Every structure is written in structure tokens, then in C-alpha cells.
Structure 1
């Protein structure tokens, strides 16, 4: 199945496997072999499998501060609370203490996302059954209001590193919620939109090159401003999506995921001017010595428009390309497109050194 933009649902899964390497593990093999009617069903399958795997390792626990009236001292004595107990003739000590609990924000997000997916008619009965099964172990975990989740405040460390992929899936689900005015229930918006897919698309391309072409040292690096004079404090940071390096040659790739690849001005279609200015700025500031060994590429996700850009320019001694990546074909062919991009720029250099 495809979405409105023409992307195969299975290809979204493959993009997720590169963005989050954990999906390459053998326990997700069943997910890869299945067919999905829609993206919500895919997310439900990944979460059900991932939560089941997490349960085998044990749910992540955090210390939660509690205050209770106890018969014996535990933790820190709350003087004011204990005095109130005495006044009420209660023979109890008011104690403040920390206790390991599964009822933390990480597990709350998992439970909330699973419950919302269970309420979606687009999720198959098979996936609902799997989610219900793992939710039996979340009785002591509270739900959380999606709008209250501070995603940028979540901190991962050794004990909860395995949650990172699962919570990214939860983000895709919860960030695409719409409130129904009829019953007050959450409904899911289409995931495959510009906001969500642009992030996944960028991460996928970067991780693909890291995995299959380690010799190109793919990174999301910053480009320093090449100034003759002046203070750089107020200049914006130039952060590339993907930078590939081999020897003294550099290719800067800026991924773009738009509903419309071309902009329309006076009934004529042209490239997005801001995108072209951006990649040109990256390249010229990276190529400090004006060697011409730095190239730039705008890599658009192909739409169903009749005209899609596929062109190369030589601008002030540097090569600037605008290409499209078709995501509505077999994944092997997507991989071949990405391989051709690296070979077209680095092929000659790599062959000489070999």
C-alpha cells in the first residue's frame, strides 16, 4: 500500500530500520515480512514487538519521590506532617522517601501511545490483540496527556537506551493526533506529511551512507563561516543534513521532503530559491581555498508531479546538483539510487586509490 504522496508503506519501515538500527535485529524479522494497509498498523506492529522485547529485559524504573504515613521511619522524616499526625492522634510518622517505580514518563508514553493505537480503526485486529497482551503488564503505569510531554527533556542513559527507538515511534504517533469534536477522542492525522517525513527522510539518508559506505564518513556536520573580517556571534549556524568525505573531496547533501518539489511563479515552475541559496552558501563557505573539490546536492523526495528536478550546475567553480529520490519503488532500487549518487561524485577517486 502507498500513502497520498505515493510512498510504499513497507519503504517507510525500511527507512525506520536505518534511522533506528535496532529494527535490524532478528526479533523484528516478522514485522519486515508482513504487509501493512496503513502507517498506523505498521507503528502498532513495531510497538507491540518492541514492548514485548522490553518486557523480557524488564521495564525501565526510576526513583519517584513519595510521602506516606508509616509505622517506622523510612527515608527523611517530615516534621510538619508528623506533628499533624500527633495532633490527630495518629501514631504514624510522615516520611519522604524515594522508591523505584515503573510509573515514569518513559513507560507512560508507551502506554498512552498503545492505548491510542488500540482505539484506531485503521489498526488491524491482529495488532490490537498483540498490543492488549503487552498492556497487561502496564497496570501500574499511568496515562499521560500527549500535549504535556516534553520530548526535548527526555534523557537517555545506559538503563533506558533501548527505549529510544520506541519513543521516537511514539512521537510520530502522538504528534499526529487530532481531537475529535464529537466524542472527545483522539484521532490520528496522516503521518506521511512534510513535518514528520522530512525528519525521517533526512535521518534515513544519513544512516544509509553510514551503514553501507563507511569510507565516506557520513556526518551531519556544521560549516564554519568563511569571513574576511567581522564578528560571527550573530550569524546563524550552518548545519548540514549529510556531509560525505573521501580524501579531499566533499559532497554536502541537503534532503528536502515537500508536497510540491517545484515552486510556481507567474505560471512557471522553478526550483525553490531558498533551498538553492542555502546549499550554495554551504558549499562556498566549506570550500575555503576555492579548490572546487566541494560539491552540493539538493535531494528531493520524488512526488507525483510530472516535472521533477534532475540537473547539475557549475556555480563559481563548484558543482551544485538537484536530484530526486523515488520512494515508491522496490527498496533495492532506492538503495541503487543512493549508491549512484555517491559513485557519481566519489567513484573516480575511490577507484584510483584502490
Structure 2
């Protein structure tokens, strides 16, 4: 059994990660750390775990007693955590924050569809951002083929869980319901990792990525609408995408329209590729808490420890 621990266990991504790990056939969850909740049962914070575990949050933990630790604290805290500790030799670290997505300190960027073989031999994984996952998966086949030759335009909408568990004016139910809004237009932090990785695949790409994120009036999921000029026919583009993702068990190019209910509660990515005039339009849908965070973290863990990539992640969409 893989012995796992979680640092920062009170947020949405940690709650989903706990749900996946306590039901994973090859994992023993040894501890879930939370300073503010130490001593409380996990179910007092994550009510959906009632009946699945009797574990309590801990304040102290022993890294020598686990094989992998997941860092689920707020952005900016993982680097300090790592610097303050002596890390046991052989311990694998999977960081769900944005601290190491530029791959410093020995971390590998954990997008399996792009870096599967590097992930298999890595000891430290930087899990991608949720928007970054949806948008990169819409563009990786083009970048890998050297076909990103113009500006890229993205509009993407995310559910309220993407803003984290701490309440704010724009996540309050009475404001969010029956409402839609733009935020961080053209400045979202995930643009850094998207641009860096696309240019790694296609060094000649020197155009802009115009990204307008939106807040949706639903709890979870991301739908990204991506388009750029492209000379491929629709048939050629669909074949390119199908071939690129042929070895990726969670990423599928489909002929029909895609929507959030097809992927929410799963680790799947659905892509719809179509040509309109001179534009190639790609619609990408994911669950921001699973493929955009905790599901992808478990997928990376599976790869690191030589398990089937889909182990513990065969989840049905919440279609109703």
C-alpha cells in the first residue's frame, strides 16, 4: 500500500483528495494536517465523507511514515514548507499550489498528457492550475505540431469552488446565483504557465494568448472556448487531436457538443474541435476540483508509483 499524507486539509481540493484517497485500492491515508482543525473529525469539515472515514485532523505528523505527501495549502505556502523541513530521502511530493509550476527545486510539471514519462520518474510534482489544464489540453496538439501561428483567444467560465473555501463577496450565494461576471481579464495568473509550456513545445510561438476568465453561477466545472487561425481542415484537426491523445485515458476528442455535466465528478477532459471560416475552435470541459486539481494529483501519484493511471479515478459523471 502507498502511505499518503495531506498538508492543509480543510479546503475544497483537500476534501476531494481525501475522498479519492480513502477509496483508492492501493492507498493508506496516514494523516490529514490542519492547524485550525486539529483534533476535529474530517467529517466535521468535509460532510460528504460521513461513513467513509473516522479520521481526525492532526497538527503534527511524521514524514518518515509516508511515501507521498500532497501539499494543499494556499498558494505561496508550499515553498516555505519545503524550505523549513528536512525531507526524507525517497519521499514523493505533489504540490497542488502554484509555487513550483516553473519546475524549480526539482519539480516536474504534472500534466500527464504532455509529460507522462517525466512524471513516472519524478520525486516532486507541481500539479497544474485548473484553468491552465483546460486551456493547455485544448492547445497542446497544435503546439506539438508547430501549428500555433497566430494569437489565441480564450473565454472560460468556472464554478464557485474555483475561488476556494474561504468566503468572499463574489462567492457568496446571494451574489453568485443567477449571475455571471468577468474577472482578471487578460491578467490571470495561469497565463504564465500556459504561455511557458506552449512555447516549450513550440519555441517559435511568439503570439499573444488573450484570456478572459468568468465566474459562473454553479459550483464546479470549467468550460473553455478557445479559437485561433489554423490552416488545417476540420477532419485534419480532429485526427491530430485524436492521435495526440490516443494514449491518454482521460482525455477524449468527441464529435458532438460538450457540456459540464458530462465531466463533473470525473477526471475526464472532453474536447470538441470544429472549424469556422479560418478559425479552429476548441471547446474544453473539465471538473476544476478533479482533473483541474485533486484528480490530476492522484493520476500523477499513480504514474509515480507504477500503477494504472486510472486507478481510483474511474468515476461517473453527475449527469442529473
TM-score (norm 1): 0.25
Q: Which fold has the larger relative contact order, with Cα–Cα distance below 8 Å and residues 6 or more apart in sequence?
A: 2
Of Structure 1 and Structure 2, which has the larger fraction of its residues in helix?
1
Q: Which has the larger radius of gyration?
A: 1
